[in-house]
Chain A
Amino acid sequence: MMGLELRDLSKHFTVRSDRGKATVRAVERVNLGIPEGQTVALVGESGCGKTTIAKLVLKLETPTSGAVTFDGKSLEEMSRKEIKDYRRQVQAVFQDPYASLNPRLTVRRIITEPILAHYKRDRATLNARVAELLEIVGLPPRAADLYPHEFSGGQRQRIAIARALALNPRIIILDEPISALDVSIRAQVLNLLMDIQEKFGLTYLLIAHDLALVEHLSTRVAVIYLGSVVETGESEQIFAAPKHPYTQALLNAVPRPDPDYVPKAAEGFDDTGSALEPPSGCKFHLRCPHAMAVCKTDNPPLIKLADGREAACHLLSGPPPAQV
């Protein structure tokens, strides 16, 4: 398969707690394809493992088991040269534009860094490229010689986007690209992201907790709960009719800018559910309003539903097969 794919991807961390060592199952057997030209969103609450998945894809972490594959080849099996090639194809934009730009470098050096890591270019070519990239992201040419602190958050995020585009990548990982920005600036950056996707035919892997943003930007969604995918499919299907109780609870809780809309609270929800000691069976059963006996013992597999999406819930797998 072309493009990125997560195959049975797991990442466990060992932490020391009061009671000795414990294993955090940050990512647990995730299977997900990221088709070319699409925007695939990973949605979930803080601590669900979505950022760890991004780090695995960016090869900033190594998986415990399973693999991230690119054009059919596992990142772990790639040679040094292939990794370098992969780095050229897959770039990233991070959440905090204040932390993602080195304060001691000028914008020109920040943007040319990825280019110089791969190619030898003379100054004139580089300068032309910087000017071109700045124009794409809507910054004036004189921005090149300023330092990051001279820009506002939105402008910094534009610089980060210019840097991500510098190598003409195929895929960009967007880790909460607008959540650190001012409300009135968010739309500018969102529109820019949509424009460049169209212009350069980019594939996006979007990491976000804001469901409104996800619905707005993504074509496909994977809902993550405590490290596992609980529901995945076309964005439109999932937002129109969520099937998994967790997706439902999540969508119901989102407030809307409408005084007559009252978000529904799931009062039983506590945010203490942790990947450190996931409950047995379905990880969601402690918070699930429809929990059944089987949910406490068996972890439901992801099953393909009639409309093409996949969900992991005993409610959807039909009645358990009759005992003969």
Chain B
Amino acid sequence: MTAAPLLQVENLQMHLHLRRGVVKAVDGVSFEVHEGETLGIVGESGSGKTMTCLSILRLLPIHSDGRLDGSVKLDGEDLLQLSEEDMASRVRGPKVAMISQDPMTSLNPVYTVGDQVSGPFLYHKLVRTVREAMAAAAQGLRRVRIPSPERRLKNYPHQFSGGMRQRVVTAMAIACSPRLLIADEPTTALDVTIQVQIMNLLRSIQQDSKVGIILVTHDLSIVAGLCHRIAVMYAGRIIETGKVRDIYRNPQHPYTQALLQAIPHLGQKRSRLAAIPGQPPNLIDPPKGCRFAQRCPKRMSVCDDYPPATDLGDRHVVNCWLAAKQ
């Protein structure tokens, strides 16, 4: 891994100022994504995984006073320093695109699919005429393997099934051949049989275009088959990151270990699960030390200080005192 990473996020912070206090939704997150690589960001709801992605695109929730800090370098250019116009015209779409969770709400029901898929081509001036845009849109639908695309362009979103809609959304996302694709729970709303198809689609798009993918999910099973590397987030921070095999075969952080044991998976007989007690901490006033300490079975007194990042080799990094001590 000598090539410069496609995306390098360093000490990213996103703090939301609410009436109740400052929510540290993302609190010092660093990671990188290389060309043609898929990074899975795994975490529970409220762990900051979606906020991390929105921060990369500099999209903050409406009605909130948010503050972004740190740096997000895409091909060496810090996105946090760009003007809003540059973000809109040069970055969102041509460089970074996003697929969101709900294919029902990410398409506008009053426009045809053709109108919506051709939108990015026209907006980013990749084509000159509407006719060319429609041709490009049809090509886009073909890339995501929607049968008879020319005919389907005239249909409205409600005439598509959930899986097909997610394909349309994917076609829109890859319209401008982005460098980085952020997929936020792309399969959560879909049935299992359709889920696999979308995963395969993402994989084949990546093989064709060398796009870097960030896959955000709460489901450890989905990332296993698709990602090259995984970052586990807990309470606004990344607590363990490494190659997929290292994380699944040799998890070091007690949270990662517990999470892998706490989900029922196929091939497991009727038995009690090793439940993680308690609840994730409050992000307004998170514990000073390790944020998992309160629920951790291996808690020690040093855990009152935040554990340093320990590199176990091969970019397997864990923030835990147990690893630091060895």
List B residues 214-260 near A (Cβ within 8 Å). 218-222, 224-225, 244-245, 248-249, 258-260
A257 near B191: Cβ-Cβ < 8 Å: no
B221 near A255: Cβ-Cβ < 8 Å: yes
* Minimum CB–CB distance for B301 against chain A, Å: 24
* Minimum CB–CB distance for B281 against chain A, Å: 11
Q: Does B196 contact A (CB under 8 A)?
A: yes
Q: Does A249 contact B (CB under 8 A)?
A: yes
Q: Does A65 contact B (CB under 8 A)?
A: no
Give the CA-CA distance A212 to B271 in the complex, in Å: 12
Q: Does B28 contact A (CB under 8 A)?
A: no
B263 near A256: Cβ-Cβ < 8 Å: no
Q: Does A213 contact B (CB under 8 A)?
A: yes
A187 near B275: Cβ-Cβ < 8 Å: yes
Give the CA-CA distance A239 to B194 in the complex, in Å: 20
B245 near A211: Cβ-Cβ < 8 Å: no
B224 near A253: Cβ-Cβ < 8 Å: no
List B residues 44-67 near A (Cβ within 8 Å). 44-46
Give the CA-CA distance A253 to B265 in the complex, in Å: 13
Contact of B224 among A186, A188, A235, A255 (CB under 8 A): A255
Contact of B193 among A190, A215, A269 (CB under 8 A): A269
Known contacts A154-B279, A182-B218, A261-B224; A216 and B193 CB within 8 A of each other: no
Give the CA-CA distance A4 to B275 in the complex, in Å: 32
Give the CA-CA distance A258 to B222 in the complex, in Å: 9
Residues of the A chain whose Cβ atoms lie less than 8 Å from the Cβ of B265? 212, 256-257
The residue in chain A whose Cβ has the minimal distance to the Cβ of B200 is A265
Residues of the A chain whose Cβ atoms lie less than 8 Å from the Cβ of B164? 270-272
Give the CA-CA distance A152 to B283 in the complex, in Å: 14
Residues of the B chain whose Cβ atoms lie less than 8 Å from the Cβ of A272? 161, 164
Give the CA-CA distance A215 to B248 in the complex, in Å: 22
List A residues 226-263 near B (Cβ within 8 Å). 235-236, 239, 249-251, 253-259, 261-263
* Minimum CB–CB distance for B321 against chain A, Å: 20
Q: Does A22 contact B (CB under 8 A)?
A: no
Q: Does A146 contact B (CB under 8 A)?
A: no
A185 near B264: Cβ-Cβ < 8 Å: no
Size band of the B side of the interface? 35 or more
Residue from the set B45, B225, B272 with the largest chain A CB neighbour count within 10 Å: B225
List A residues 139-166 near B (Cβ within 8 Å). 152, 154-155
Give the CA-CA distance A267 to B268 in the complex, in Å: 27
Known contacts A45-B191, A259-B248, A272-B161; A216 and B268 CB within 8 A of each other: yes
A259 near B225: Cβ-Cβ < 8 Å: yes
Q: Does B197 contact A (CB under 8 A)?
A: yes
Q: Does B18 contact A (CB under 8 A)?
A: no
Residues of the A chain whose Cβ atoms lie less than 8 Å from the Cβ of B295? 184
Known contacts A212-B268, A255-B222, A265-B196; A185 and B191 CB within 8 A of each other: no
Give the CA-CA distance A213 to B219 in the complex, in Å: 13
Known contacts A184-B259, A209-B192, A250-B192; A216 and B270 CB within 8 A of each other: yes
* Minimum CB–CB distance for B44 against chain A, Å: 4
Give the CA-CA distance A194 to B264 in the complex, in Å: 13
A271 near B196: Cβ-Cβ < 8 Å: no
Residues of the B chain whose Cβ atoms lie less than 8 Å from the Cβ of A317? none
Contact of B264 among A216, A266, A269 (CB under 8 A): A216
Binding site for B on A (CB under 8 A): 45-46, 152, 154-155, 182-188, 190-191, 194, 209-213, 215-217, 219, 235-236, 239, 249-251, 253-259, 261-267, 269-272
CB pairs A–B below 8 angstroms (25 shown): A45-B192, A45-B193, A184-B44, A184-B259, A184-B276, A184-B280, A185-B279, A188-B275, A190-B275, A212-B221, A212-B263, A212-B266, A216-B268, A250-B193, A254-B192, A255-B219, A255-B224, A257-B221, A259-B224, A261-B224, A262-B225, A263-B196, A265-B196, A265-B199, A271-B164
User: 17 additional contacts, CB 8 Å, given A187-B262, A187-B275, A239-B267?
Assistant: A152-B279, A183-B219, A183-B220, A184-B44, A184-B280, A185-B44, A186-B264, A187-B273, A209-B192, A250-B192, A253-B193, A257-B221, A257-B248, A259-B224, A262-B225, A271-B191, A271-B193
